[in-house]
Structure 1
């Protein structure tokens, strides 16, 4: 009997070890199952802007095609407010399981340096999935402006320091900071006149109340085609397929200039890699489909797929680039 107790202890220890291993495997199973079975319920795609705008249009085109690839419904949820920060903060705080995603824009790269207080970090609280679109702004001017190309615009601005008024859709928006980047690179000073949206700003440019504006092609090109505005140049490094006759700012007199409006898809930080890879692969098919490319070309932007790491590097570079422009411009929002 002296040897019985140690024998029972060894058996008990073995059973305990096996039980612990089984519990450990069971605990790990839900996460593995969730990733491997993804998606098994509808996905919410947050758009931090109102319905009907350029970002909302992109989101709905992508959502429709993405749900065909994934076999699950994708619900577009508009959460506008606070300069696109309200929706971003909600997604950053969401469960990182791949069922809450966000469409980010150039504004999210600008906001870290523009707002004195943010309750999230676009680079730390999110995991990049892929870029979705890339498109230029276009410099449009009142038809009577005595400049029809970039070199003439720079010469006119230099001859009238602070005398040219440029409109924007709001303080700190890409329509504002793209013009500030232009001014800094060209060594000119123009007077900024912020509006609440592109529509009233364009109205004043058309009437001559403001001289020019850096605006999205979606909202401004119909007026260019109608003769109510004249297009001077696009802000991308290459000409836009939707307006191939309009030169780039870089080729027309300001080498190295580039400012693009973009959309990308993000998930909360900590989302499993398997889920990110699944979404990225599906987006590749979506963004390379001819009908999606055609839809986006008609809106003035190009479909652009990227790997998660490449999109992450792009996002970091955008945050750094616009941070310098914000600092130079002195723009701030409390």
Structure 2
């Protein structure tokens, strides 16, 4: 009887070990086979903005690199927070990814505990683009320089309206920094995305705009661009001074990339990283970006994580001071 019980327990143990090994093998095989079905690439802004433009540029290359269909969807709202909140709650299997923007994914959770997501719930896959932010007015405004703009703003404190994309975003932070350093008061008007923001401004709904370099380049004949982000003058705006050149301690930019929910298997993250970096290294794509007013980046998952941590440390004291 004792011998039979021993055999029974041994059989059960071997069966359990076999099942566990099978599960591990299945999981490993699943990661190795990734992707084996359609993927979703969600843009947390409206169609037509910079994030959408880049996703569309990557689209056919992504499908080729990954060997599966990729569907681009949109979830605008809250300067990206609505879409990122949805993304972090998706199954962490790599089949649902989202465009991410820095400093948005840092500033929003830092400034509001009810944002719906935390920065560390997003696993960055790659950063592939940087976009300087510039301040502009329409040519007919009569404002020709930053000095003119500051003077007008001080004549009517809080009356000069400035369009931006989202709250506690790169545009919003740039406005707050400018207000503080120039000792003036402006009225920030947030929109759900760059496309809506630009059209509202061009339609006369605001006096000025803090816009991405690509949009400024597209409409440069209708604008007076007063200052722009960057450590040095940009090739596509050789006559526009940077904020730093004008004496402002600020370098407003938006970095774009793609992320997945935290907990996504490392092998899956690496597979997506490989695909996005392969596209980022494409010389034709880099040339297109520069022609359109973007600055190419090639940052993988680990480097992106380190960069985000670095930016968090930089932005935390600034945000506390500006709140």
TM-score bucket (shorter structure): 0.7 to 0.9
Corresponding residue number in structure 2 for 1:27 = 23
Structure number with larger C-alpha Rg: 1
Q: How many residues align?
A: 315
Matched, 1:246 2:240: yes
Q: Which residue of 2 aligns with 1:198?
A: 198
Unaligned runs of 5+ in 2: 192-196
Query: Which among 43, 65, 88 is matched to residue 47 of structure 1?
Result: 43
Summarize deviations over 1:6-50 as a string: whole Å, max 9, x none: 544444443333222111101222211111111111111111112
Q: Does 1:237 align with 2:231?
A: yes
- Counterparts in 2 of 1:37 and 1:117: CA distance versus 1, 3 Å: same
Whole-angstrom distance in 1 between the partners of 2:313 and 2:100: 16
RMSD between aligned residues: 2.9
Structure 1 residue 262: Cα displacement: 2.0
Secondary structure of 1:118's aligned partner? coil
Separation of aligned partners in 2, 1:48 and 1:303 = 21
Matched, 1:97 2:97: no
Instruction: Give the Cα separation in 2 of the matches to 1:128 and 1:170.
Output: 22
Q: Matched residues in 1 for 2:263 and 2:133: separation? A: 34
Question: TM-score scaled by structure 2?
Answer: 0.85
- Structure 1 residues not aligned, in runs of 5+: none
Q: What residue number does 2:291 align with?
A: 298
TM-score, L = length of structure 1: 0.82
Deviations for 1:299-320, whole angstroms, at most 9, x for unmatched residues?
Answer: 3212212121221232344455
* C-alpha separation in 2, matches of 1:16 and 1:252: 76
Change in CA separation of 1:146 and 1:92 when aligned onto 2, cut-off 3 Å: closer
Cα distance in 1 between the residues matched to 2:70 and 2:269:
16
Instruction: Mark the CA change 1:171 to 1:10 in structure 2 (over 3 Å): closer, same or farther.
Output: closer
1:167 aligns with 2:159: no
